[in-house]
């Protein structure tokens, strides 16, 4: 588990974002692109999410951080439609999509890169991309553009997806999702099972993706990585929100306390209540 190194990363982030983005500054005018209200999700008897809420605005890179079992992946899978919530709702562009099947959400623009990549292993690289493009919305991403962005993929397009390395598979999985031309891209634990240098490279691709005006909601155990790329972070602990804010507005101590649920880490600084 990566130790939270918030201070370094947030300073870096603040430098990138510039002065106009002081603590908590979010484009909160207008409707959020994605909103989760009082979501409760159970796996059998176990309560994985216990009444959490979030609002993601267009163009944000919204990172959910938290330890194993905090409910991060459950949150993403529920937004994608793979789990049904016990209570609460998921709104997409102001419309309630809680009852919608995953394939219909994908066609409307909520597209997830699942944990563990989940490529179609008996299909070739190109066929994986073609499946991703089958139900695509209108948008900037085409298979040709993917090949222009990731040159190696064109050369290896006829290879079976199962033969690629982990990092290559993750890149194909992200490309497959991009080809649907999503409005919000859900990234579930991109770093899982990959070497740190590969993780760096994959997160390094994000700016290219965001150039297309994409909103990203990502889940990550690697806190320093999340703080580096995110414009907004949201920490979960046992299915509840413990901290929320911009990377610049939260201190390393706050993140550490919220992540591990240390005593005295009452959500005082940037609690869920501070959301309008």
Partner 1 sequence: MAWVNAIIQGVLVGGLYALFACGLSLMFGVMKVVNLAHGDLAVVAGYVAIGVIAVTHIPVLWSLVIVVPVMAVLGYVLQRTILQGALDRSVLATLMVTFGLSVVIENGLLQFFTANSRGIGTGLALVSGSFSIGSQIQIGYLLVVVFAVAVVVLLGLQYFLSASTYGRLIRAVADDKEAAQLAGADYRHVFGVAAAVAFGTVALGGIAYGMYSQLDPTTGTDTILLFAFAAVVIGGLGSLWGTLLGGVVLGVAQQIGAQISISDETLAGFIVFLAVLVLRPQGLISGGAQS
What is the distance between the alpha carbons of residues 263 and 271, in angstroms, rounded to a whole number?
Answer: 15
**C-beta of residue 23 within 8 angstroms of C-beta of residue 232:** no
Supply the minimum distance, in Å, between the C-beta of residue 180 and partner 1.
6
Residue 256 · residue 12 · CB < 8 Å: no
Shortest separation between residue 220's beta carbon and partner 1, angstroms? 19
Q: How far is the CB of 152 from partner 1 (least distance, A)?
A: 22
Q: Which of residues 99-158 bind partner 1 (CB under 8 A)?
A: 101-103, 106-107, 111-112, 114, 118-123, 127-128, 130-132, 134-136
Smallest gap from residue 171 Cβ to partner 1 (A): 16
The contact pattern for partner 1, residues 59-98, with x = CB under 8 A and - = no contact, is ---------------------xxx----------------
C-beta of 135 vs 152, nearer to partner 1: 135
Tokens at 261, concatenated: 């649920």
Which residues does residue 36 pair with via DSSP β-bridges, in sequence order?
54, 90
Nearest approach in angstroms of CB 73 to partner 1 is: 13
The secondary element (H helix, E strand) that includes residue 233 is strand 232-237
Contacts of 260 (CB under 8 A, 6+ apart): 67, 237
Q: Residue 202: which residues within 8 A CB-CB, separation 6 or more?
A: 167, 170, 171, 174, 190, 191, 194
The Cα diameter of the chain in Å comes to: 56
Contact track, partner 1, 163-202, x by CB under 8 A? -------------xx--x----------------------
> Closest CB to partner 1 among 164 and 270?
164
Nearer to partner 1, 6 or 173 (CB): 173
Specify the residue, 120 or 147, whose C-beta has the smaller distance to partner 1: 120
- Helix H or strand E encompassing 64: strand 61-65
Rank residues 128 and 246 by Cβ distance to partner 1 and give the closer one. Answer: 128
- Smallest distance, partner 1 to C-beta of residue 18, A: 36
CA angle 36, 112, 81 (to 5 degrees): 50
Main-chain dihedrals φ then ψ at residue 70, nearest 5 degrees = -75, -15
Residues that bind partner 1 (CB under 8 A): 80-82, 101-103, 106-107, 111-112, 114, 118-123, 127-128, 130-132, 134-136, 176-177, 180
């Amino acid at each position: 588990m990566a130790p939270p190194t918030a201070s370094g990363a947030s300073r870096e982030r603040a430098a990138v974002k510039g002065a106009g983005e002081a603590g908590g500054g979010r484009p909160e005018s207008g409707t959020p692109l994605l909103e989760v209200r009082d979501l409760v999700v159970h796996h059998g008897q176990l309560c994985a999410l216990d009444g959490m809420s979030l609002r993601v605005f267009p163009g944000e890179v919204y990172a959910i951080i938290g330890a194993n079992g905090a409910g991060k992946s459950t949150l993403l899978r529920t937004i994608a439609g793979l789990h049904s919530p016990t209570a609460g709702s998921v709104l997409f562009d102001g419309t309630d999509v809680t009852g919608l099947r995953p394939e219909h959400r994908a066609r409307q623009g909520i597209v997830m890169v699942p944990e563990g990549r989940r490529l179609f292993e008996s299909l070739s690289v190109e066929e994986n991309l073609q499946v991703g493009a089958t139900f695509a919305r209108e948008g900037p991403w085409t298979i040709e553009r993917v090949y222009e962005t990731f040159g190696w993929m064109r050369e290896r397009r006829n290879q079976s997806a199962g033969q690629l390395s982990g990092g290559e598979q993750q890149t194909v999985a992200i490309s497959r999702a991009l080809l649907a031309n999503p409005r919000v891209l859900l990234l579930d634990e991109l770093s899982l099972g990959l070497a740190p240098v590969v993780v760096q490279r994959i997160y390094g691709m994000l700016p290219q993706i965001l150039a297309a005006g994409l909103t990203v909601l990502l889940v990550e155990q690697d806190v320093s990585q999340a703080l580096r790329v995110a414009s907004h972070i949201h920490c979960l602990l046992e299915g509840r929100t413990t901290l929320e804010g911009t990377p610049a507005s939260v201190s390393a101590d706050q993140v550490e306390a919220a992540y591990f649920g240390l005593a005295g880490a009452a959500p005082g600084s940037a609690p869920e209540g501070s959301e309008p």
